[in-house]
Amino acid sequence: QKIEQKVNLDTKFSQIFEKNINTDNNTKTEQSNVENLLNFLSNNKFGINNNILDSINKDSIIEFRGFRMKAEVAAKFMELEKMIKQYFPGREITITSGMDGQHMPNSAHYRGEALDFVVEPLTQEESKIVEKLAEKAGFKVYNEYIYDSPYKTGPHMHIQLP
């Protein structure tokens, strides 16, 4: 029965996910479907492997919460977001940049391998905890709550695939 459920889920996933990769005109409904599906997969229902990246093409460029990035970044960010919410309940977590915007030359942003986000409110001391959580989620981190960069637009966390 678990195999049948996995096949059905794979079919459903393909139908939803394939609509959303490498497109510029995604609707809010389609984006919600992708995020719901990523959440569903990460909750390990129906005997699915915990690693949701096993079920998706992690190099596909998708639109996630209004920003373009690789599916792997979105999936890992969702795991990071869960950790942050457990540590800092009630805090607002907002993605501020994906492949868009101005970044350093050759930035991982332009390859879809990075995103910037803020946690509000967040002190500099608390940002060190978020930095460690991001590393635990599998990201390389640059903490722009504490450190400056030439393209800094304000306090935020830069995370990218290693």
Longest dimension (CA), the chain: 55
pLDDT digits (tens, 9 = 90+) for 88-125: 999 999 999 999 988 888 999 999 999 999 999 999 99
Q: What is the mean pLDDT of the chain?
A: 79
26 contacts: CB under 8 Å, gap ≥ 6: 19, 20, 63
pTM score: 0.71
To 10 degrees, the CA torsion angle through 154, 159, 100, 15? -140
Between CA 39 and CA 70 the distance in angstroms is 16
- Comparing 15-29, 67-81, 88-102, 107-121, the range with the smallest average pLDDT is 15-29
What's the pLDDT at 59?
87
Quickly count: other Cβ atoms within 10 Å of residue 108's Cβ: 21
Split at pLDDT 50, 70, 90, the class of 84 is very high
Choose between 104 and 134: higher pLDDT.
134
What's the pLDDT at 10?
45
Split at pLDDT 50, 70, 90, the class of 47 is very low
3-state secondary structure the chain: CHHHHHHHHHHHHHHHHHHHCCCCCCCHHHHHHHHHHHHHHHCCHHHCCCCHHHHCCCCCEEEECCEEEEHHHHHHHHHHHHHHHHHCCCCEEEEEECCCCCCCCCCHHHHCCEEEEEEECCCHHHHHHHHHHHHHCCCEEEECCCCCCCCCCCCCEEEECC
Mean pLDDT, residues 27-37: 59
Choose between 157 and 151: higher pLDDT.
157
